[in-house]
Amino acid sequence: MSAGLRSSRMLLVLPLCLVPVASIASGLLPEPTSQAIRYQHSQDWFWCADHLMGLAIPLLVLFSGLAARLADWCYRLSGNRWFLAIAFFAITYATIDFSLSLPLAFWEGYVNEHRFGLGTGSPGQWMKEQFVGYVATLIGVSLLTWVPYFFMRATPRLWWLWSAVAFVPVFILIQVVSPIWIAPLTSRFEPLADKSLEAKIDALAARAGVSRPTILVKDESRTSKLPNAGVRGMFGTTRIVFNDNLIEMTDERELLVVLAHEIGHYVHADVWKFMSIQAGLLLAGFWLAHWLGRPAISRFESRLRFSSLSSIASLPLLYLAFNLAVLATTPAVNAFIRNVEHNADLFAIDLTHDNEAAMSVIRKAAKLYWYVPNPGWFRRNFRTDHPPLDERARSLVTYQPKDLSPAGTRTSP
C-alpha cells in the first residue's frame, strides 16, 4: 500500500475522534464533568491509535520485505519442516506485534488510567498481566496458525470457509479453559466470605434457572478501581465472579441487580452469540484475505518477495485482513451487542423487581467510570458496545418488570 493511501486512511479516521460529545437529554443523570469528557476523548484517540497500529504493523512487516526474510529464516531453523516453520513464524510475528504495540498499550492501559484516577496497580503488576497474555498468545499461535495454511493447500477455493469452521471448537475450548486455568494466572479468586450474601446470590441464580454455580470474588482492587462481574464457564463449570471493589462500591440490592444482569447473559446464552460474532469476524477476515490477497500479492510481489497466499510470509496479510474486517463491521457488531446488553438490563429488573437499585447503579457508574451519559455519533457507533447510560436510565425508569418462570423466561404479569 502506498504512503499516500495510508495517509488518506489516517485523514479519514482521525477527524472521527474530534466529533463533539452530545450533552445529556433526560435529566436523570448528572451533567458530565469536564474531566469525564477529557477522559472519553482520550479513549477515542487511543481507539484510533490502536486501529492504526493494527493496520500499520502488518503493512510494515509486509512491505519492508521482513515477512519474506523471516519466512526463509524459519524454514532454515525448522529444517524445512512445514509445521515447525509456521509455528516459528507465528511466534516471531506475535513478538514483533507485541513489542511494537507495548508502548501504546502502556500509555493507554496504565499511564492514562492512573492519570484519571482509575488505576491502582504498579507498573510491575501491569507488565505481569501483559506478559501472561503474551505467553498465552504464543502458545495459541504456535498451535493454531497452521490451520488456514493447511486448508489453503487442501481446498484453495474454500480455505477461508473451512478455516473459520475449524476455529469454532477452539472458541468453545477457550470459554471452558480460560476462567479455570488462565484467569488465575494473573488474579486471585476466593470464595465469598459473607455466607448470607452468598445464599442470596445462589437463590437469585436459582430463580433464573442457574443451579449451584460457584461464587467467587476476584482481587481486582490491586490493579484497578473499576468494578466488574460476570458469569463464566460452560458445561458444568459455571462461575459467578465479581470484583472485590464491586462489594465495596455497592450495597446489597445494587450488587444483586448487577449480578442479575450478568446472570441474564448466561440465561440468554449470550456467550454463544459472542462466539458466533467471533467466528463471523474470522470468516470475514479470511474471505477478505482470499478475495484481496491474491491480486495484492500479484501487484506488489517485487516488494513483498513472495508469490503465493499459501506462503507463510503471508501471515501479516491475514492479520491485516482480519483487522480491516473488524474495523468495517464495528458499528454493526456494537449495535447488536447493545441490544444484547439492553435485554440483560430488562432481565435484571424482571429477576429482582428493583428498578430503584438499578438506577442507583447507573448513577454510580456515571461518576465512577467518567462516562458521558449520552455520547456523540462516533462514540455511539464505533466505541460503545453498551447502551449509553442516559438511555439505560430512561429504560429503567419506565420499564415495568415481569415475572419469570422457573426456567428464567419472562411470563405475562
**Span 299-321, pLDDT tens digits:** 999 999 999 999 999 999 999 99
What pLDDT is attached to residue 413? 39
CA atoms within 13 A on the CB side of 90: 23
Statement to judge: residues 195 and 106 lie in one domain: no
Which residues in the chain come in under a pLDDT of 70?
Answer: 1-26, 235-236, 405-413
What pLDDT is attached to residue 62? 97
What pLDDT is attached to residue 34? 87
The alpha carbons of the chain give a radius of gyration, in whole angstroms, of 23
Look up the domain containing 248 and give its range. 189-266
What pLDDT is attached to residue 63? 96
Statement to judge: residues 231 and 118 lie in one domain: no
C-alpha to C-alpha distance for 236 and 179, rounded to whole angstroms: 13
C-alpha to C-alpha distance for 363 and 389, rounded to whole angstroms: 8
Q: Is 65 left (phi over 0), alpha (psi -120 to 50) or beta?
A: left
**Span 73-115, pLDDT tens digits:** 999 999 999 999 999 999 999 999 999 999 999 999 999 999 9
**DSSP assignment of 289-305:** HHHHHHHHHHHTHHHH-
Beta strands in 94-165, from DSSP E residues, in sequence order: none
Evaluate whether residue 5 is within a structural domain.
no
Q: Given 242, 266, 290, which residue is the final one in a domain? A: 266
Selection from 7, 28, 55 nearest residue 328 by Cα = 55
Statement to judge: residues 250 and 223 lie in one domain: yes
Selection from 131, 122, 125, 59 nearest residue 102 by Cα = 131
Q: Could you identify the residue written with the cell 484475505?
A: 289
C-alpha to C-alpha distance for 333 and 328, rounded to whole angstroms: 10
Q: Given 266, 281, 298, which residue is the final one in a domain? A: 266
What pLDDT is attached to residue 408? 59
Q: Given 232, 250, 266, which residue is the final one in a domain? A: 266
